[in-house]
Structure 1
Amino acid sequence: MKGETIARAWAVTRSDGLVLGFTDHDRALEFGGMTFRPDSGLSAKAVVQGSGLSVDNSEAVGALSDSAITELDLMAGRWDSADVQLWDVDWSDPENRSLVFRGHLGEISRSGGSFRAELRGLSEPLNRAQGRVYHPRCSADLGDGQCRFNLDAPGYSALGIVDQVDGQRVRLRQIDRHDARWFERGQLIVLSGAAAGLRGQIKHDLLLTGMQREVELWAELGLQPAPGDRVKLTAGCDKRAETCRMKFLNYLNFRGFPHLPPEDWLIAPQVNR
């Protein structure tokens, strides 16, 4: 490729399947069945790539555009961890291109009418600690491939309607037949309205009068649901063996070690053992 005809093209894929293409060229580019638009104001600093397990990194900078990346979507978290591909493209012959980066969006910050997003390469997960944790409590996440519990089983989820929202507290109606605290450590999933698709972890679950209950989230949703929006609650697990056996009837798949001796036993004097 000739240096004077090189442009950069981006493909960004959100977790909900939306795919957008951008370019820093002054005209649209087309290749791979996609159109890469020049009107987003998206640009990037130089991509830093290292050998070994060092983290590839860069930064994308752009203007918020109603037709592309909106501040509402950023606040709602819909761009978090979106997949990113970056090419150097010969704009005079788009088939002449090379993929120079593949990864995902990291931390996103907003200021005025612009945003700034970290780009994290594919090697980043290799720096995380791997291996199984030996602990009395379960190491699986409720409903994952190790736990194998079906969260859609009768009694372990509930549909409700938002009545009132006050920060991290969400009051719901039309939810019954569940004890207080049943959904603690579970999830609140917004099903309709502007915040549809957002999820929050439930900290407290209070049963009110009639068919009303109030849940408190660990953190506010990026975009708060409005009264009348539909939500789904899923049961929570504290990862104890007793909870797995009695609440979920799933002890066969328990991934903890409840009979491990505690730490005080390990450091006690080695007498009469």
Structure 2
Amino acid sequence: MPVTGDFLDHFAGGHTTVCHCWRLTRKDGAVFGFTDHDRDLSFGGVTFRAGTGLTANALSQTTGLSVDNSEAAGVLSDSAVSEDELKAGLFDGAEVSAWLVNWSDAEQRALQFRGALGEVKMEAGEFRAELRGLSEALNQTQGRVFQRGCSAQLGDARCGLDLSGPDYTVEASVASMTGRSRFALPALGQYADRWFEQGRFEVLDGAAAGLSGHVKSDRAGPVRSVELWEEIRGGIAPGDRVRLVAGCDKRAETCKVKYGNFPNFRGCPHIPGEDWLLSYPSRSGGNDGGSRYR
């Protein structure tokens, strides 16, 4: 919404009555409104609740393509944002809109920021969430990168491999766990040691249903020991059903031997390395175009 003339006139007066309002829209469609004013405000079909303890640091904005950034902080409240919801990742990537509002007349307002929630941290009964502007997407790689490893994601359209079959996907129940990142499963003897490393660990039921993690270590034995790079933030418990999906280390050898999918390999395994690129002419040794380090 553009700044209205009445709002500009309000700033030209002898005093101002302004506050900040934030609207969060989660990926599941849930909408939340917050304000740092001392009473609730409503506009655009959303009630912006006071008393949530939500505050925001100064917003850094530029006229170029640099990333706008800020940070919001608040006290955890069951009636607003609960710790369980944050741990479950329900607010990850939520869309954020922030306004400067005349609290005596909420129709006088200016949209200051649009973006999404970034990293969320929790400690001592409060949370801190990074706010990332729309230009954050410009930091992401666009187009193809020429590298030795495969640039496709296992199972996507460029890879072409069907991961739905039993060779690459298995479901099992959690037998025991250490923290939220190490799990013991049935032996799964039909799958080789480290078969699921770099793959996915998906929770199918229980309090953490729908969450997933990236497999750091997968070791075969009397029990299958699976360790994740990061903790599953929801309340996973023994007996919950999970799905393991095979992983790929992006090497040409893995694509050829493990998956038999080398025709779809999306890397450049013979691209010269840094030693070749930084080499210089030399009078000694062989100068036949081969490696200097044979």
Partner letter of residue 39 of structure 1? G
> 42-51 or 248-257, which moves further after superposition?
248-257
Structure 2: unaligned runs, 5 residues or longer: 1-6, 290-294
Deviations 1:140-178 (A, max 9, x none): 222345334443344322111111111332011385643
The letter for the 2-side match of 1:111 is E
| Cα gap change, 1:28 to 1:174, in 2 (>3 Å) | farther
Matched, 1:28 2:47: no
State the Cα distance separating 1:201 from its structure 2 match. 1.5
Write the mapping of 1:8-157 to structure 2, written as runs, cut at 5 A.
Answer: 8-127=20-139, 132-157=144-169
Taking the aligned partners of 1:232 and 1:64, their CA distance within structure 2 comes to: 32
How well do the aligned residues superpose, as a CA RMSD in angstroms?
A: 2.8
% identical equivalent positions: 54
Match status 1:245 vs 2:256: yes
By how many angstroms is 1:17 displaced? 3.8
Q: Deviations over 1:50-96 (max 9, x none)?
A: 12133312221211001221223333443333321112234455444
- Kept in 2, the 8 Å contact 1:165–1:225? The answer is no
CA positional deviation for 1:183: 0.8
Cα shift at 1:226:
1.0
Matched, 1:228 2:244: no
The size of the alignment, in residue pairs, is 271
Aligned to 2:269: 258
CA distance in 1, matches of 2:117, 2:195: 35
Q: Which moved more, 1:262-271 or 1:65-74?
A: 262-271
Counterpart for residue 287 of structure 2: 271
User: Within 2, Cα distance between the matches of 1:252 and 1:122?
Assistant: 37
Partner letter of residue 163 of structure 1? Answer: A
Shift of residue 111 of structure 1?
3.3
Structure 1 residue runs without a partner (length 5+) = none
TM-score (norm 2): 0.79
User: Which structure has the larger Rg over C-alpha atoms?
Assistant: 2
Instruction: Tell me how far 1:228 sits from its aligned partner.
Output: 1.2
- The whole-number CA distance in structure 2 between the counterparts of 1:32 and 1:41 is 22
Q: Is 2:207 aligned against 1:191?
A: no
CA distance in 1, matches of 2:204, 2:183: 14
Distance 2:45 2:187 in 1: 46
User: More deviation in 43-52 or 168-177?
Assistant: 168-177
d(CA) in 2 for partners of 1:94, 1:244 = 59
Q: Is it true that 1:213 corresponds to 2:207 in the alignment?
A: no
Match of 1:163 in 2: 175
